[in-house]
């Protein structure tokens, strides 16, 4: 079935920005115990590209989360559906998130991961929608700031569809 999605950020722009973020992270984490924590499912594409642009010894862990909300609204109460497979005590954790919308999910994950006693916890997000902020969270590495539109592609879904699009796009009404 053909999809009707218009491009907001094309694949080349994403690749360029991910290269820049990878270079920054490589500089900042040299000599440290970097662990990327990929927040499933939405961050799987971003994490795989980002990891290949970081030129350091590092680990990748996966955290599966399900957000409890009313309809499309995030409540910030997240259920862990898949936990880290190894402790991160003493490690430098970098949470890799697809999008920070209200900020509630990241706030919860920061609290959760801090209980695991890492040496540091920081956040790398591909996208940020500041218009919808409900709680301010630090975003240490950010790909793009976007307006308040629902986006899909590059891992992001709409009812589990569109994750495989190689670009960030907007679903046209009627699709």
Binding site for ligand IMP (CB under 6 A): 42, 74, 76, 97-105, 150-152, 156
Residue 130: helix, strand or coil by DSSP?
Answer: helix
- Stated as kind and residue range, the H or E segment containing 40 is strand 34-40
Q: How far is the CB of 56 from ligand IMP (least distance, A)?
A: 25
**Residue 19 DSSP label:** H
Selected catalytic residue, list 10, 92, 98, 101: 101
> What is the number of other CB atoms lying within 10 angstroms of the CB of residue 157?
15
Query: Looking at beta carbons only, is 16 or 75 nearer to ligand IMP?
Result: 75
Q: Which long-range contacts (CB under 8 A, 24 or more apart) does 139-145 make?
A: 139/100, 139/106, 140/94, 141/21, 141/24, 141/25, 141/94, 143/14, 143/17, 143/18, 143/21, 143/46, 144/9, 144/17, 144/168
Do residues 33 and 119 make contact, with C-beta atoms less than 8 angstroms apart?
Answer: yes
Query: Looking at beta carbons only, is 29 or 105 nearer to ligand IMP?
Result: 105
E-only strand ranges, 88-132? 92-100, 120-128
How far apart CA 137 and CA 20 sit, in angstroms, is 22
Query: Looking at beta carbons only, is 40 or 84 nearer to ligand IMP?
Result: 40
Query: Looking at beta carbons only, is 63 or 99 nearer to ligand IMP?
Result: 99
- In the annotation, is 157 catalytic? no
Active site residue ranges: 101
């Amino acid at each position: 079935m053909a999809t009707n999605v218009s491009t907001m950020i094309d694949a080349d722009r994403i690749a360029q920005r991910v290269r820049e973020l990878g270079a920054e992270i490589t500089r900042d984490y040299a000599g440290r115990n970097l662990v990327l924590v990929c927040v499933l499912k939405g961050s799987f594409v971003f994490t795989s590209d980002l990891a290949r642009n970081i030129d350091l010894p590092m680990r990748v862990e996966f955290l599966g989360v399900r957000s409890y909300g009313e309809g499309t609204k995030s409540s910030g109460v997240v259920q862990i559906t898949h936990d880290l497979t190894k402790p991160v005590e003493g490690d430098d954790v970098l949470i890799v998130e697809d999008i920070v919308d209200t900020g509630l999910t990241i706030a919860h994950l920061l609290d959760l991961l801090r209980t695991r006693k890492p040496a540091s916890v920081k956040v790398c997000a591909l996208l940020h929608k500041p218009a919808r902020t409900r709680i301010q969270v630090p975003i240490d590495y950010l790909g793009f700031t976007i307006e308040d539109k629902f986006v899909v592609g590059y891992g992001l879904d709409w009812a589990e569809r569109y994750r495989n699009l190689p670009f960030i796009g907007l679903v046209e009404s009627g699709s």
